[in-house]
Amino acid sequence: MKVALLGGGVVGSQVASLLQAGTADFAARSGEHLELVGVAVRDTSKVRPGIPAELLTSDAAGLVARGDLDIVVEVMGGIEPARELILAAIKNGASVVTANKALMATHGAELTAAADEAGVDLFYEASVAGAIPLLRPLRESLAGDKVQRVLGIVNGTTNYMLTKMDEQGASYDDVLAEAQRLGYAEADPTADVGGADSAAKAAILATLAFHTNVTIDDVYCEGITEVSQADIEAAREMGFVIKLLAIAELNSDETGVVVRVHPAMVARTHPLASVRDAFNAVFVQAESAGEMMFYGRGAGGAPTASAVLGDLVAAARNRFNRTRSHRPTPYAALQARPIGEARTCYAVAIDVEDRPGVLATIATMFAENGVSIKTVRQDGQEAGALLNVRTHVATEADLSKTVDALRGLEVVKQIAGVTRVEEADES
């Protein structure tokens, strides 16, 4: 079978070299020899270990148009020309493997429909959580269950950064540069730190988990750009660590899904707290199966290439057997619901006047807006007090009303911080 590679960077160069190094094994596993016939890049003059120079071309459209390709592997990234090239490959009868979460979270429905119409496979395991087998388990192993919640750390770059900032006090800029050097970051790393990369992955996970089309535009997104060393230290003092979480869950009446990405405090005893460096971990909560955790390397050339090659073998096997895999169908058609319907716990830090009755007034505001307080800690300050209020689960809408009401109180000098808290026992 003839295989073309679109992209020969961090992931593409690993796919090319592992594919060529394992020729005999891949033939035995697929049923047929897999021959790499071309690699499209922008700059053909760059030396690329693992990619024979004679395979390089800067004419990606020409490569895809050959007409004799069995499988096209897209690891160039971005929306265009990746989308047009994949559509052209599909139209020419090739199956497609992609690692492109930005594309799948934006045009996934269009590409899936095109592959379905052409009768070819479209696989994208590497687009979420690097090496970790996650999309196939969701699509196949859990097809007999009802997923209720998906929660995890799905961006290696930011997890690497937060780990180094927490454990070594490293500076944000230094650790971002290191994550880029290690090949974890996107070509434009603002997608990592701004949360868009996690949001794209959350949309893909939600689409598969809830049998519903969810795009990146449906995902509430906050990244780690506002997380300071002071926030990390404050969390540490309370026994927490800050993680960038992606969460997709059914809303309370199960008519919709709320999908969100934001930093959250996680207790150091929570399993997610021990997910360090560029590792990812995703919990899936399903009605019959209960809770499952998927853990592994979430970024980097070789780990991602492992997932790409797994899809490549799966696509090759299907072609060998003249079949294809069942495509995910969005039959449930749940609504994407706004962040106000999300439910979680919070830590609210409030600068207040230190005089009798203040605590009661503050507590009343929480109660009046339907937010139940779990703990309160008061620390003295020069001209007042800092109240650290931790809540039980509340909706974002109720918490937001509470914060607005607190801001209007004469005894409140300022809201010093509002942080979401992921409690293991309160979801």
Active site members: 201
Give yes or no for residue 133 binding ligand NAP (CB under 6 A).
no
Nearer to ligand NAP by C-beta: 48 or 211? 48
Closest contact distance (angstroms) between CB of 138 and ligand NAP is: 17
Cβ(160)–Cβ(175) under 8 Å? Answer: yes
Give yes or no for residue 12 binding ligand HSE (CB under 6 A).
no
Nearer to ligand HSE by C-beta: 95 or 155? 155
Give yes or no for residue 183 binding ligand NAP (CB under 6 A).
yes
- The residue ranges of DSSP E strands in 251-355, in sequence order, are 256-267, 279-286, 290-297, 335-336, 343-352
Cβ(210)–Cβ(181) under 8 Å? Answer: no
Tell me how far apart the alpha carbons of residues 372 and 291 are, in angstroms, rounded to a whole number.
Answer: 26
Give yes or no for residue 10 binding ligand NAP (CB under 6 A).
yes
Give yes or no for residue 156 binding ligand HSE (CB under 6 A).
yes
Nearer to ligand NAP by C-beta: 85 or 264? 85
Give yes or no for residue 195 binding ligand NAP (CB under 6 A).
no
Give yes or no for residue 184 binding ligand HSE (CB under 6 A).
yes
Cβ(194)–Cβ(223) under 8 Å? Answer: yes
Q: Which does 43 bind (CB under 5 to 8 A by kind): ligand HSE, ligand NAP, none?
A: ligand NAP
Q: Which residues, 6 or more positions from 205, have their beta carbon under 8 angstroms from its beta carbon?
A: 128, 134, 135, 138, 150, 154, 246, 248, 282
3-state DSSP call for residue 159? helix
Cβ(368)–Cβ(416) under 8 Å? Answer: no
Give yes or no for residue 70 binding ligand HSE (CB under 6 A).
no
Cα atoms in the Cβ-side hemisphere of radius 13 Å centred on 271 = 14
Tell me how far apart the alpha carbons of residues 156 and 278 are, in angstroms, rounded to a whole number.
Answer: 4
Cβ(205)–Cβ(138) under 8 Å? Answer: yes
Number of chain positions touching ligand HSE (CB under 6 A): 11
Nearest residue relative to ligand NAP (C-beta): 9
> For residue 408, what are its two tokens?
């209007």
Residues found in the chain: 427
Give yes or no for residue 306 binding ligand HSE (CB under 6 A).
no
Q: Which does 157 bind (CB under 5 to 8 A by kind): ligand NAP, ligand HSE, none?
A: ligand HSE
Footprint on this chain of ligand HSE (rule: CB under 6 A):
130, 155-157, 184-186, 192, 197, 298-299
Footprint on this chain of ligand NAP (rule: CB under 6 A):
7-12, 40-43, 46, 60, 75-77, 81, 99-101, 126, 130, 183-184, 186-187, 299-300, 304
